[in-house]
Structure 1
């Protein structure tokens, strides 16, 4: 499988491989209680957000694909993180489509724009794993994005911190 997705431009965004210098943005966005409003485990600590970023960097090294830093090209500001990574939905190998943005950038269509680029990448480079989105049950904003992308609920999985809906195209 070849993805060649270190950097992708959309109409308004630059999606690039995560780097170590993304740590301040990762801590700010991933540890924000508002971005974790529906997370049953709550917001991760700064150290846990750093561990997430390190895992995403390892995904890139190991798999050649992972979550991107979502930036505004004109300023280079990181406004979110998202994209695809290898994951399991129960026992099934899948590509998990993830999106988390700074609350200052909600409601502007950035999540669907980034997600469409990720879906296009998956369609070109990895047809053996379905793209899925997993959302916490009460997370209606993420579910709206999933529906906007043409995904529908196909099941529910139990994780250590609670049940998640599984969405597929």
Structure 2
């Protein structure tokens, strides 16, 4: 298991337009709303989630923070503090071993502003600095052209196509 030192814990990161902050229990209602949105979950293999399933998933995100000292952030706009969605890196395990999984999901009215690549860029920079031994992957259903473009824009390379969480998915890995 990969742990980070206390000084490397990314409680809060900032980009030009975003604040990425550690999720808090008070964010659960926003996460439930996000996972109940049919547009936001269009490419999610399991689709929309009932509130209890979303609540359990959110608790797993909180637990990841406790166990590893990092995880998915709440993504807020710098100017307004408005919550745009959630995203970041979590430790995951695949057939090739441990890796950092890139995840993001934004409320649809925040799509098309470049927030996803901005957040992913900050997450990747943090991940490379603190966990250089771990590959960084984006795994997205083949139907999600926007996510594939984000991966390619940030220099991720397509490595394979395979089933993941019930959907045929593209696996992208960051070189180096």
- TM-score, scaled to structure 2: 0.91
Runs of 4+ aligned residues of structure 1 deviating over 4 Å after TM superposition are none
Q: Aligned Cα RMSD in Å?
A: 1.3
Matched, 1:144 2:149: yes
Flag structure 1 segments of 5+ consecutive residues without an equivalent.
none
Distance (whole Å) between structure 1 residues aligned to residue 144 and residue 39 of structure 2: 12
Matched positions, count: 169
Residues 56 and 81 of structure 1, relative CA distance in 2, 3 Å threshold: same
The residue aligned with 1:104 is 109
The residue aligned with 1:24 is 29
Name the stretch that deviates more: 86-95 or 152-161: 152-161
Deviations 1:26-62 (A, max 9, x none): 0111221101112232111122111121111100000
Show the 5 A alignment for 1:68-107. Answer: 68-107=73-112
Q: Give the SS at the match of 1:44.
A: coil
Q: Give the SS at the match of 1:14.
A: strand
Q: Give the SS at the match of 1:35.
A: coil
> 1:94 deviation in Å?
0.3
Matched, 1:168 2:173: yes
Contact 1:90 1:157 in 2 (8 A): no
The residue aligned with 1:121 is 126
Q: Give the SS at the match of 2:148.
A: helix
Flag structure 2 segments of 5+ consecutive residues without an equivalent.
none
Distance (whole Å) between structure 2 residues aligned to residue 62 and residue 28 of structure 1: 26
Q: Give the SS at the match of 2:13.
A: strand
Residues 160 and 133 of structure 1, relative CA distance in 2, 3 Å threshold: closer
- TM-score, scaled to structure 1: 0.94
